[in-house]
Amino acid sequence: MQVAQQQVGEDQPAVVTLYDFRQGSKLAPDQMREVEEVLQNLARVLRRTLGVYLNASVWLELQALSQGSGEQYLRNLPDQPITALFELLPHTPKAVWQMDAPLAYGALHCMLGGRPDNCELITERELSPVEAAVLRRFCKEILDTWALTWPLLDGQAPVVKEVVGDIAQVDVELRHEQVVIALIEANFAGQEGRMWLGLPAGILQMMLRKVETKAAGKQISSALLSNTGATEVKLHVYLAQQMMWLSALQELQEGMQIDLEHHVSDPVAVYLAGKKKFLARTGTQRGRLAVQITEVVG
């Protein structure tokens, strides 16, 4: 802290951030290419989904992708950016999706019932609370589309935290993050502009590495299976279990019936190494008792 304070000067507070030495602060080139493909695909899909959502002509295209500091990203934003703050994963640093005022007010015009061919807007003004709420729903539509087109977001349900119209309202935690910066050119209902995305590099890196780990695990499992495919394993099929008093057990004789709580149409459990792996139904095949697998449970 003392060294940092000497470097920034007496009138500026020193900032210390945690660093994870297990991973770098920047995405590798192959990871950047994957993110680029994801955003290109998102832009293509949004042309259709937002066009239907706004009932207007919509065009988007990814123009550039780079890495930099959050401070650098925020410094390049206009003075009054229309900005959505959202989380890719729960309880992680917020990402930023900024759009130029003509795009934001063009989308508002269509969402509030305006005609796309009569879109004369006043954009040099503050965003009202009602407009911010409507734009929040618009940004949620974008994130929902992203979650559908990117398997890494499937089941994550990214959340729009807020939409603001002033750079001073942007959460300062992004300033101290390494971010992936994406530039998207767009046109909503004849209104042209740019959208700048600031995505925390650490969060993207964590998500991408999870996929790499899963892929490596599948490769290892496939290799093990190919080498052990001829190994015999024992499967145990359990029809049902019944509790009895010891006195009732002593009275059992040949020909007596034991009622089971298991219905004849209920599936039976198939165990492997003591763990339930499948559900099955009973039957016969070529004169022998058999079970047919109906569901994988483990």
Q: Is the pLDDT of residue 183 over 90?
A: yes
Question: What are the distances in angstroms from CA 202 to CA 69, 75, 282?
Answer: 12, 20, 52
Which residues does residue 66 pair with via DSSP β-bridges, in sequence order? 181
The answer to whether 158 and 86 are in contact (CB under 8 A) is: yes
SS (H, E, C) the chain: CHHHHHHHCCCCCCCCCCCCCCCCCCCCHHHHHHHHHHHHHHHHHHHHHHHHHHCCCEEEEEEEEEEEEHHHHHHCCCCCCEEEEEECCCCCCCEEEEECHHHHHHHHHHHCCCCCCCCCCCCCCCCCHHHHHHHHHHHHHHHHHHHHHCHHHCCCCCEEEEEECCHHHCCHHHHHCEEEEEEEEEEECCEEEEEEEEEEHHHHHHHHHHHHHHHHHHHHHHHHHHHHCCCCCCEEEECCCCCCCHHHHHCCCCCCCCCCCCCCCCCEEEEECCEEEEEEEEEEECCEEEEEEEEECC
Per the prediction, the chain carries an average pLDDT of 79
Say how far apart CA 126 and CA 116 lie, in whole Å.
22
Domain 233-244+262-298 bears CATH identifier 2.30.330.10: yes
269-285 mean pLDDT? 83
Q: For the chain, which residues make up each domain, given as ranges?
A: 16-211, 233-244+262-298
pLDDT of residue 275: 80
Lowest mean pLDDT among 24-28, 91-95, 155-159: 24-28
pLDDT of residue 1: 53
pLDDT of residue 24: 45
pTM for this structure? 0.60
165-175 mean pLDDT? 66
Give per-residue pLDDT as tens, 55-97.
889 999 999 999 988 888 887 777 777 888 888 887 778 888 9
Say how far apart CA 231 and CA 14 lie, in whole Å.
62
Range ranked top by mean pLDDT from 31-45, 236-250, 269-283: 31-45
Say how far apart CA 150 and CA 39 lie, in whole Å.
9
Q: Is the pLDDT of residue 225 over 60?
A: no
Q: Is the pLDDT of residue 42 over 50?
A: yes
* CATH architecture of structural domain 16-211: 3-Layer(aba) Sandwich (3.40)
172-188 mean pLDDT? 84
Q: Is the pLDDT of residue 219 over 70?
A: no
22-26 mean pLDDT? 55
Of residues 81 and 25, the one with the higher pLDDT is: 81
pLDDT of residue 274: 72
Same fold for the pair 16-211 and 233-244+262-298? no
